[in-house]
């Protein structure tokens, strides 16, 4: 059974002596790494992150949440779906559908493709993928119930504008979906009402019909329907960039440069020692 040999103290001491003996070479490489990092930070485009915090709220008028309403909904086969408002909002915020609607509404297709020749069949998938994976971020905090939506973009003012606009589009989409559901429910209730002559059932359907009308009025009247903005996005400060990550770039370049310098130092020291041993072996034979 083989065992992994650990470096001895002598080997570690030898490595340290090489590093200290050739510190000038390593210093030159470290300085070069710093210069490369500075160049990268200067050349790479600056990007800013704007974010907003929202909270999902009940999409129905609270006065409609009675036992009669729930029982009638079950009776006529209509679900009010109040327990999954949050999940529906999250799914919509992360959906390809909303991303594509947003990008096309803000004429950002050309910006995201930047003159590339992309076939029409691949255009939507490419644009949506770039927007969702490179620009948009949706985080869900289950503990607090808050949802954070952020946009990473090179224009800090546009980043804030897009963040707020994306949330508004999601909220408006949820509102329109609720209105369409209510309209279908009203049509169904009217149809059910014509099919029955039972007075009690007619009265129940009429009461439920009234709650659906209230639901529609509630959806139209409320400015923020399902997503209530707690902290709207504002443009970040000029120097508050999210990318490039200056600390990460500088640390990476310095470490890589130092390792490269140490490698060359070891190679140089090994070559020097090999030449000395070779010379030592040749000297006795030439005497």
Residue 209 is part of a domain; what is its CATH number? 3.30.1890
- pTM here is 0.71
Residue 17, in any domain of the structure: no
Please check the confidence at residue 276 and state whether its pLDDT lies above 80: no
Please check the confidence at residue 189 and state whether its pLDDT lies above 80: yes
With cut-offs at 50, 70 and 90, classify the pLDDT of residue 283.
Answer: low
Which domain covers residue 174, as residue numbers?
53-231
% the chain with pLDDT above 90:
33
Cβ atoms 19, 244 nearer than 8 A:
no
Residues 6+ apart with CB under 8 A from 14: none
Residue 71, in any domain of the structure: yes
Residue 275, in any domain of the structure: no
Residue 37, in any domain of the structure: no
% the chain with pLDDT above 70:
83
Please tell me the predicted confidence (pLDDT) of residue 20: 77
Residue 175, in any domain of the structure: yes
Residue 29, in any domain of the structure: no
Q: Provide DSSP, 123-135.
A: HHHHHHHHHHHHT
């Amino acid at each position: 059974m083989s065992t992994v040999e650990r470096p001895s103290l002598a080997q570690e001491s030898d490595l340290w002596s090489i590093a200290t003996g050739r510190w000038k070479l390593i210093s030159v490489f470290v300085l070069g790494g710093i210069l490369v990092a500075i160049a990268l930070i200067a050349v790479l485009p600056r990007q800013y992150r704007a974010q907003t915090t929202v909270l999902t709220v009940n999409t129905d008028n609270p006065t409609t949440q009675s036992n009669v309403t729930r029982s009638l909904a079950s009776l006529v086969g209509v679900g009010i779906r109040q327990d999954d408002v949050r999940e529906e909002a999250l799914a919509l915020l992360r959906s390809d559908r909303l991303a594509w609607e947003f990008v096309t509404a803000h004429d950002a297709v050309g910006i995201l493709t930047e003159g590339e020749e992309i076939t029409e069949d691949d255009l939507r998938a490419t644009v949506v993928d770039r927007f969702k994976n490179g620009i948009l971020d949706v985080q869900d905090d289950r503990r607090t119930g808050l949802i954070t939506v952020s946009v990473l973009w090179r224009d800090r003012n546009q980043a804030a504008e897009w963040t707020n606009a994306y949330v508004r589009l999601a909220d408006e989409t949820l509102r329109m979906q609720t209105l369409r559901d209510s309209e279908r429910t009203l049509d169904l209730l009217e149809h059910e009402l014509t099919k029955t002559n039972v007075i009690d059932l007619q009265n129940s359907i009429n009461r439920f019909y009234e709650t659906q009308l209230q639901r529609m009025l509630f959806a139209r009247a409320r400015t923020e329907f399902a997503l209530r903005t707690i902290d709207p996005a504002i443009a970040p400060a000029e120097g508050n960039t999210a990318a490039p990550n200056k600390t990460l770039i500088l640390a990476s370049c310095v470490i890589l440069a130092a390792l490269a310098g140490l490698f060359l130092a070891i190679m140089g020291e090994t070559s020097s020692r090999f030449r000395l041993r070779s010379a030592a072996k040749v000297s006795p034979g030439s005497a």
